[in-house]
Structure 1
Amino acid sequence: MRIGLVIMCLYGMVMALPTTAGAKEEHSRPLHVVTYNIQHGANHHGQLDLETIAENLQSSEADVITLQEVDKHWSERSRFVDEAAWLGERLGMQVRFAPIYSLDPLREGEPRREYGLAILSRYPIVSFENHELSRISSQEPDKGVQKLPGFPEAVINVRGVKVHVFSTHLSLNPDVRMLETEEMLEIIHRREGPVILTGDMNAEPGSPEMKRLSAEMTDAFAVGGDGAGWTYPVPAPVKRIDDVFVSSDVRVESCEVLPVEGSDHYPVSARLSVEKSE
């Protein structure tokens, strides 16, 4: 009788102790992020192939996907498809689209023609904002540098942790790119909690703009990747211009370039761990 009682007491004590996995689960959340410049759904031959883009993203099994160069009823080059919505439905993910340009339709009654960026998520998107950055518009280049939208921020609830995810596509002009970098950091510095900045930076790691970002945030590939990390141009890349940056409360588990054809860029995959506030 006494032996049975002792065994029951010991069993109860063991069951009451928190496991190592449980303790870790309480304080951090794994998050797999992929960023991809999809070149409006065209491959490196210039052929429209949104299905291959979808297959690449599906096989990545990402929790959050950020996209650049996305068409929404834009033109015949993408058959006037709402590409972000199409990919969201294909992948079973929530979608938010952030236009840089929003033009009148070619024919009355049709949807507006838009081009920009998108964020897709398997987790709930609790808020969304399309911020402005300084740009030279491809539609109105004579106006010079002006503030235009196209810097989307999605606040995503990752199992109780609110994560600020940004997608960007910086300018080709290095002076404008540095201005955009300062504007992005100004927005990011106003955020509390985990921040993830992703996108096509159009700048390599040694550039002044990327050094500026690296001084404020962690370059995921620099700490979690192997090799050169080249992403552009497909199929023989020679530049690393697609990146994931994270705030100090996001841990980088690994980061890699996915060598899949489907665009003129390779996507970048980052496996992260976001910390839950005490």
Structure 2
Amino acid sequence: MKTFFSTIVFCVFFVVLHAQSVRILTYNIHHGNPPGHPNKIDLPRIAEVIKTADADVVGIQEVDVRVSRSQMVDQAKELASLTGMHYFFSKGIDLEEGEYGTLILTKHKIVGNKHYDLPMVEKSENRSLAVVDLELPTGEILSFANTHLDLKAKNKVAQANYINELGARIENPLILVGDFNAKPSEETIKILEEQFVRNTTTNGPTHPNTGAKNEIDYIMVGKQTKFSWKTYNTILETYASDHLPVFAEIEITLQ
């Protein structure tokens, strides 16, 4: 009887509280153009970086869809094909007869997606936030957000505040990634840290690709999420883009 009771207690505890590891990558890919080769597009190399990282979910910025400079390829669809992952593209702007924006790739089933146009205080290039809901192997839902913030300071601040407001309304475990065009000391990052947790121990510069000196690409986790960092680092891939990819593995405590 005692053994049976102990088994029941263990099973109930396991159902109520268990952990899920998630491997994450964020990468500004410079529309697949290696900066040392102005007229070249090398999506297979970008795909190889993603596959080598073995990421479960990836946020990509600066993606072309049917634009002449990148050979009229739908880069979102092509990267999904090259990596064997599900995808969701979020347009920032119309470009020529095509589109330019951000991309989410994931091994997990996408059960929901949303596109938000981010606010602009000053006239600039339109920016978006993409949020997808992913069904994890355990059956729980993880929300994953990807963005590329503006270069102008007032716009970045407004966009960070907007993202915080959205993030606060999401009840699922939440991950935010992207090129925020802001260093850790800037107001934009300080605002985001009100709602999201940033790695401050194993982080490092992400731009430019050679002699990197500025950290402007981030993986953050919503404060509603119970988690721990397992790994966080930049990947020293200096050929494929003018940014270094950032990788993290976190362990999320699920209920």
The alignment yields a C-alpha RMSD, in angstroms, of 2.5
1:28-87 Cα distance to aligned partner (Å, 9 max, x none)? 211111000000001121332211111111100000011000000022x21011111111
| Separation in structure 1 between the aligned mates of residue 80 and residue 62 of structure 2, nearest angstrom | 16
Q: Deviations over 1:119-173 (max 9, x none)?
A: 011011101111010248xxxxxxx537946211011111212111110111111
Alignment partner of 1:51 is 2:36: no
Q: Size of the alignment, in residue pairs?
A: 248
8 Å CA contact 1:134–1:146 kept in 2: the answer is no
The alignment's TM-score, normalised by the length of structure 2, stands at 0.88
**CA distance in 2 between partners of 1:104 and 1:238 (Å):** 33
Deviations 1:79-121 (A, max 9, x none): 011111111111110010001113563xxxxxxx010001011
Distance 1:132 1:156 in 2: 21
- Equivalent pair of 1:126/1:154 in contact (CA under 8 Å): yes
Task: Say whether the 8 Å CA contact 2:168–2:195 is kept in structure 1.
Answer: no
Change (3 A) 1:218 1:44: same
Q: Does 1:81 align with 2:73?
A: yes
Paired residue for 1:132, among 117, 124, 135?
117
Instruction: Report the secondary structure of 2:193's partner residue.
Output: helix
2:250 alignment partner in structure 1? 272
The match for 2:230 is 253
Q: 1:61 to 1:191 in 2, by over 3 A?
A: same
Counterparts of 1:125 and 1:25 in 2: how far apart (Å)?
Answer: 24
Q: 1:41 to 1:23 in 2, by over 3 A?
A: same
Q: CA deviation at 1:272?
A: 1.1
Maintained 8 Å contact 1:229/1:256? yes
CA distance in 2, matches of 1:209, 1:274: 26
1:246 partner amino acid? V
Q: Which residue of 2 aligns with 1:237?
A: 212
Answer yes or no: is the 8 Å Cα contact 2:102–2:146 preserved in 1. Answer: yes
CA distance in 2, matches of 1:210, 1:152: 19
Residue number in structure 1 paired with 2:21: 30
Name the CA shift for 1:265/1:18 in 2 (closer, same or farther; >3 Å): farther
Q: Considering only CA atoms, is the larger Rg found in Structure 1 or Structure 2?
A: 1
Paired letter, 1:79: Q
1:133–1:147 CA contact under 8 A, matched in 2? no
SS of structure 1 residue aligned to 2:147: strand
What SS does the aligned partner of 1:230 have? coil
Q: Is the 8 A contact 2:22 2:252 kept in 1?
A: yes
Unaligned runs of 5+ in 2: none
Matched, 1:41 2:32: yes
Higher helix share: 1
Taking structure 1 as the reference length, the TM-score comes to 0.81
Question: 1:145 is paired with a residue of what secondary structure?
Answer: coil
Gaps of 5+ in 1: 1-8, 106-112, 137-143
SS of alignment partner, residue 163 of structure 1: strand
Relative to structure 1, is the Cα distance of residues 79 and 132 closer, same or farther in structure 2, using a 3 angstrom cutoff?
A: same
